[in-house]
Structure 1
Amino acid sequence: MTLRTNTDAPPAPPPASDKGLRSGSVGLLGAVALGLSSTAPAYSIAVTLGLVTLTVGHLAPASLLIGFVPILLTALAFRELNREMPDCGTTFVWTTRAFGPLAGWLAGGWVVQTATLIAMTALSQVGATYLLSVLAPDRYAGSTVAVTATALLLLAGCTAVARRGVQIAASLQYLLLGLQLTALLGFGAAALARPGASAPSLSWLNPFAYGGAGPFAESVLLCLYIYWGWDALITVNEESRDADKVPGRAVLVSTCVLLGTYLFTAFAAVSFAGTGTDGPGLGNPDNATDVLATLAPPVVGDALAVLVKLAVAVSAVSALLSCLVSAPRGTLSMAAHGALPPAFARLHPRHRTPAFGTLCFGAATGLLLVVLELLSARFLGDAILSIGLLIACYYGVTALACVRYFRSHLRRSARDLLLKGVLPLLGGLMMLAAFVRSAIDMYAPTYGDTSFHGVGGVFLLGIGSVAVGAVVMLALRPRHTRFFREGRRAVAELTVTEPTED
C-alpha cells in the first residue's frame, strides 16, 4: 500500500489489524469499569485530598475542578485518535504516526510502560498494607516482610486473572468498583449529614481565590495524578464492540464520573472536618496521607470505618488488575509492529490474551517491589512521586500528536478545528507546562526523601527513567531496523504475527 507522508496531509490511517485478540468481548459498561478502576478512585482521593488541602485549604475542590480541565482536553485527543486508529498500542501507534518512530517508541511506549510499572509496584504494596490493616492490624500491618509477601500474592492473583481474559477482568471490576464507589458516596453522604458539618460553599470552587501561582500550580499538579489511569480502557479497543466509538465514549464517561465522585467526596470532607491544623482537620499534616482512615471512624463509626479501609485496599487491587490488562496490550502492539521482540506478540491459545507480556509485567513488578524494599522504603516513595513527570510527558505528547496528525483536517469544519486542533493543543501545552513545572520543583534536593549531589531523587528517577529508555531504544535499534527506519509505515501494518504460545 502507498502511504502519504507529506507535510500537508496526515498519513493514511492503518487498517484494522487482527492481532488475535478476542474482538467484541467488551461493551461500553465494561470499558468504563476498566477506566474507572485503573485510577483507583478510593485510594487516589484518600492519599491526595489531604495534600491538596495542606496546599490550598478550602480551595481543594477548585483544584480538583481545574486539574480536570487538561485531563478532559487530553481525553478528547485520545477519543479522536482512537476513532481514526483503533489499535491496542494507543499512544505508541498514534505518536509514531504523528512524530515518527523515535518519539513513538520513547514517549508513546517506554514512558507509558515505565509509569505503569512503577504504579503497579506501589499499588501492590498499598493493597497489601490496607488489607493487612483490616485483617490483622496488630500482628502484620507494620511488618515489611508480611506486607511484601502479601503484595506478591496479590500481584500473582491479579496476573492470573488478567491472563485469563479481559471479560473475566471486567466482570470482577464491576464488583470491585461498586464497593469503592459505594464506600466513597456513603462516606460523603454521612459526612454531610453529621451534626456540626458546615454547609458546602460555591466559593470553594473559586479559581481566582488562590494565594499565589505556587500553591495553585502545586495543587493542580497533585490533582492531575488522581485522574491518571482512565486511558487504560483504550488499550482494550481491539476487544471492544465498535472499536472506533465505544472506547472514546467510555473515556469521556469515566473521566466525568471521576470528577463528580472526587468533588462530592472533597466537599463532604471539607464540610465535616474543615481545614484546621489539629485534630481531624484536613490541614493537619498527620492526616495528609490518608484522610479517609482519619475521618471514617468519627463519620461512620468504627465498624463501618473498616469497610472504608477495605474499599481503599480493593481500590488498589482493582487498579493493579487494570494495569495488568492494559500494559501487556501496549507491548503486544509494539511487538506486532516490529518495535519489540516477537515474544511479546504471543497470545494464549485459548484465552486470546498477551500471556507472555502479562507474565513479564507481573514478574517485573514483583522484582522491582522486592528490590526497592531491600534498598529503602524511601526509594519506593520517590519512585511513586516521579510518576507525575511521566504522566505529564506522555499525555502532553499524545495531545500534540492529535494536532499534528489531523493538521490537514482543521479547515474542514468548526468541529474538526475545535476537537482535533484547538482543544487538544491547549491540553498538550498544559500537560507539558505541568511537566516543566514538576521538573523544576523536583530538582530541589528537599523534594521527596532522597537526593544525590544536590539534585532531588524524584527528579533523577523521573528524568533518569526517560534517559534509560533512550539508551534501551538505541540498543534495540539495530535489531528492529525496519521499525526505526520507516516507523509510520511499520505501524500501518503488522510486522509480526505470532498468535499463540505453546
Structure 2
Amino acid sequence: MTTTARHQDPAAAPPGKGLRPGTVGLLGSVALGLSSVAPAYSIAVTLGFVTVVAQTAAPAALLLGFLPVLLTAYAFRELNREMPDCGTTFVWTTRAFGPFAGWLSGGWVVQCATLIAMTALARVGAGYLLGLLGLDALADNALAVTATAVLLIALVTLVARRGLQLAASVQYALLGLQLLALLAFGVAALSRDGAATPSLSWFDPFAFDGFGPFAEAVLLCLFIYWGWDALITVNEETTDSTRTPGRAAVLSTVILLATYLFTAVAAISYAGAGATGSGLGNPDNAPDVLAALAPSVLGEALAKVVELAVCVSAVSALLTCVVGSARGTLSMATHQALPRRFTRIHPRHGTPSFGTVFFGSAAALLLTLLTLVSADFLGDAILSVGLLIALYYGVTGLACAWHFRHGLRGSVRDLVLKGVMPLAGGLMMLAAFARTAYDMVDPAYGSTSFGGIGGVFLLGAGSIALGAVVTLVVATRFPRFFREGRSAVAALTVKDN
C-alpha cells in the first residue's frame, strides 16, 4: 500500500499513518460491521416499538427502513474505492464540500453519535451481565450498573489497543453467539403449536394506517441498521483496501436485513401483534421483546443464552465503536485537523494508541456525567442519536453524488451506483432527519423538556449547533487544514496501486 503523498514535497507531507495493511480480510470486515450494529440487542429493543406502531406490518417497516441504508452503503462503497482512507466520511465530505462541512458532519457529528451510543451499549451490557450473574439487586442500582459499565469500557479499550486482529477474533465469537441465539429463537418460535403461518401481507408497504405511523416505524428501523459503516474505518488495514471494505459494507447490511426479517416474522407468528399478554404490540413487552418471549419459546435455561447473546451484542458493538472512533481521529490528525497526538501508533500492536485510550476514557466520563445528571437525561441523549445518524448518512450520500458528478455520463453503472442511488439515499436520510427533528420538538417526545421543547431535540440539535461553534474555534487552531483542506486531503488519501 502506498500514498500519493510520496509524490508530493516531502517537507509538506506527513508520515504514513502507521497502520498495518492486510490485517483483516472480507470475513473479518463483515464481522466487524455486523458486530458494530449489535444485531441481537438492536432487534430486541426495537422490534416491539415498531410493532406497536406498525402492527403486523413490522416486517414491511424493516424492509422500507433498509432501503435508504442500502443506498447509503453503496455511497460508502463507491467513495471507498476512490478514497480508501480510515477517516471515511470526514475525508469524503471534505473532498466534496470543503473542510468546514467535513470537520462538522464527517468528524464531530459522527464522533458525538458514537460516544453517546457507547454510553447506551455499556449500560445495556452491564445490566444484562449483572442479571446473568444473579445480581438482580445490583442490576437495578444505577451506581452499580454505571461502575460495571465503566469496567466494560476499560476492557474493550484494552482489547482494541492490543490490535485489530485480536479485536476481529473476539468479534467472531461474540457475533457467532448472537446469530445462533437469534436463529434458535426464530426456529423454536415458528415451530411452536399455534404459531401463525407467515403472511405476505406483513410485507405490504401500503398497510400502514397513514403517513405518521409509516414515517415513525421506518425511522425506528433506521436505528437498528446503524453502525455497519464502522467497518469502513479499518479500510487501510484490510486486504485490497479499495474493494474489500465496500463489499463488506453491502454484504453486512444484507445479512442484517435477513436476520431481522427472520426474527420479526418468527416473533409475530408466535406472539402476534396484540396489545395484551405476550403480543408484540403490548407496550410492556416493547423495551425487550426477546426477554419477554424467550422463556416461553425456549424455556428458562435457553432463555438465559438469549440474554447472554444480547449482553455480548452490546459489548461487541462497544468494542467496534472504540476501534472505529480511534481511526477516525487518526485520519483527522494526519490531515492536520486535530492535534498530532492522535496520530500516535502503538509500536508493537500497530493501533492508534492515544485515540483508543482517549475515546474509551471519554465514553466512561460521558456515561458517568449523564448518569449523575439524570437517568431520564441519559435516555433522551440516547434517543437524540437518531438525528445525528440521519444527518451524516445523508450528507455522505450527497457527497458521493457530488464528488462523481462529472463522470456520471461515462456508463450506466456509474450513473446508477455513483449518482442516482447515493443521491436517493442521501435525500431519504435528510428527509428522515427533518421528520425526526420535527417529531422531537414535541415536549412529550422522550422524558425531558425545557421551555416547551423536547429535551431529545435540544440534545440532538444542540450537539450539532455546538459542533458548528467548535468547528469555528478549531479553524483558528488549525488554519492550514481549513484553508487548504480539500486539496490536502486529496493529496494524502491512501490508495492501493
Partners of 2:197 and 2:169 in 1: CA distance: 38
Partners of 1:188 and 1:67 in 2: CA distance: 21
Tell me the alpha carbon deviations over residues 277-299 of structure 1, each in whole angstroms, 9 at most, x when there is no partner: 11111111100110000000000
Q: CA deviation at 1:2?
A: 12
- Equivalent position of 2:308 in the other structure: 310
Matched letter for residue 305 of structure 1: A
Aligned ranges 1:112-191 → 2 under 5 Å: 112-191=110-189
Matched letter for residue 73 of structure 1: L
Contact map agreement 1:148 1:370 (CA 8 A) in 2:
yes
| Runs (5+) with no aligned partner, structure 2 | 6-12
Aligned ranges 1:401-480 → 2 under 5 Å: 401-480=399-478
Tell me the alpha carbon deviations over residues 223-262 of structure 1, each in whole angstroms, 9 at most, x when there is no partner: 0000000000000000000000000110011000000000
Partners of 2:25 and 2:393 in 1: CA distance: 25
Q: CA deviation at 1:149?
A: 1.1
- Equivalent position of 1:227 in the other structure: 225
Partners of 2:206 and 2:272 in 1: CA distance: 20
- Equivalent position of 2:26 in the other structure: 28
Aligned ranges 1:201-240 → 2 under 5 Å: 201-240=199-238
Moved more, 347-356 or 230-239: 347-356
Q: CA deviation at 1:491?
A: 1.1
Contact map agreement 1:482 1:490 (CA 8 A) in 2:
no
Partners of 1:145 and 1:61 in 2: CA distance: 38
Aligned ranges 1:254-273 → 2 under 5 Å: 254-273=252-271
Label 1:365 to 1:241 Cα distance change in 2 as closer, same or farther (>3 A). Answer: same
Q: CA deviation at 1:490?
A: 2.1
Match of 2:85 among 84, 87, 102: 87
Matched letter for residue 208 of structure 1: F
Contact map agreement 1:89 1:330 (CA 8 A) in 2:
yes
Contact map agreement 1:338 1:490 (CA 8 A) in 2:
no
Contact map agreement 1:17 1:494 (CA 8 A) in 2:
no
Partners of 1:253 and 1:150 in 2: CA distance: 34
Partners of 1:363 and 1:451 in 2: CA distance: 29
Q: Secondary structure at the match of 2:242?
A: coil
After the TM superposition, list the runs of 4 or more consecutive aligned residues in structure 1 that deviate by more than 6 angstroms.
Answer: none
Contact map agreement 2:48 2:285 (CA 8 A) in 1:
yes
Contact map agreement 2:159 2:166 (CA 8 A) in 1:
yes
Tell me the alpha carbon deviations over residues 188-220 of structure 1, each in whole angstroms, 9 at most, x when there is no partner: 000000011101111100001111000000000
- Equivalent position of 1:346 in the other structure: 344
Partners of 1:486 and 1:155 in 2: CA distance: 37
Contact map agreement 2:14 2:334 (CA 8 A) in 1:
no
Partners of 1:34 and 1:309 in 2: CA distance: 21
Match of 2:398 among 397, 400, 421: 400
Tell me the alpha carbon deviations over residues 371-403 of structure 1, each in whole angstroms, 9 at most, x when there is no partner: 111111001100110000000000000000000
Tell me the alpha carbon deviations over residues 432-482 of structure 1, each in whole angstroms, 9 at most, x when there is no partner: 000000000001111000000011000000010011111111111111011
Matched letter for residue 96 of structure 2: A
Q: TM-score under structure 1 normalisation?
A: 0.95
Q: CA deviation at 1:16?
A: 12
Matched letter for residue 326 of structure 1: G
Label 1:83 to 1:285 Cα distance change in 2 as closer, same or farther (>3 A). Answer: same
- Equivalent position of 1:199 in the other structure: 197
RMSD: 1.5
Identity %: 70
Partners of 2:469 and 2:353 in 1: CA distance: 27
Partners of 1:348 and 1:101 in 2: CA distance: 28
Matched letter for residue 129 of structure 1: G
Contact map agreement 2:4 2:492 (CA 8 A) in 1:
no
Partners of 1:254 and 1:81 in 2: CA distance: 17
Partners of 1:254 and 1:494 in 2: CA distance: 29
Partners of 2:264 and 2:398 in 1: CA distance: 32
- Equivalent position of 2:328 in the other structure: 330
Q: CA deviation at 1:493?
A: 3.8
Tell me the alpha carbon deviations over residues 166-189 of structure 1, each in whole angstroms, 9 at most, x when there is no partner: 110000000000000000010000
Tell me the alpha carbon deviations over residues 397-441 of structure 1, each in whole angstroms, 9 at most, x when there is no partner: 000000000001101000000000011111000000000000000
Partners of 1:479 and 1:47 in 2: CA distance: 42
Contact map agreement 1:231 1:251 (CA 8 A) in 2:
yes
Tell me the alpha carbon deviations over residues 7-41 of structure 1, each in whole angstroms, 9 at most, x when there is no partner: xxxxxxxx998311011001000000000000000
- Equivalent position of 2:8 in the other structure: none
Contact map agreement 1:17 1:493 (CA 8 A) in 2:
no
Q: CA deviation at 1:143?
A: 1.3
Matched letter for residue 72 of structure 1: L
Q: CA deviation at 1:304?
A: 0.5
Partners of 2:491 and 2:22 in 1: CA distance: 21
Partners of 1:404 and 1:445 in 2: CA distance: 37
Matched letter for residue 182 of structure 2: L
Q: CA deviation at 1:133?
A: 1.1
Aligned ranges 1:359-398 → 2 under 5 Å: 359-398=357-396
Matched letter for residue 206 of structure 1: D
Contact map agreement 2:59 2:264 (CA 8 A) in 1:
yes
Moved more, 468-477 or 57-66: 468-477
- Equivalent position of 1:11 in the other structure: none
Tell me the alpha carbon deviations over residues 46-78 of structure 1, each in whole angstroms, 9 at most, x when there is no partner: 000000000010000000001000000000000
Partners of 2:451 and 2:175 in 1: CA distance: 44
Matched letter for residue 278 of structure 2: P
Q: TM-score under structure 2 normalisation?
A: 0.96
Partners of 1:489 and 1:119 in 2: CA distance: 33
Contact map agreement 2:335 2:492 (CA 8 A) in 1:
yes
Report how many residues are paired. 484
Matched letter for residue 91 of structure 2: V
Contact map agreement 2:105 2:395 (CA 8 A) in 1:
yes
- Equivalent position of 2:280 in the other structure: 282
Match of 2:67 among 69, 72, 87: 69
Partners of 1:289 and 1:2 in 2: CA distance: 50
Matched letter for residue 214 of structure 2: F
Q: CA deviation at 1:486?
A: 1.4
Partners of 1:146 and 1:455 in 2: CA distance: 32
Q: Secondary structure at the match of 1:244?
A: coil
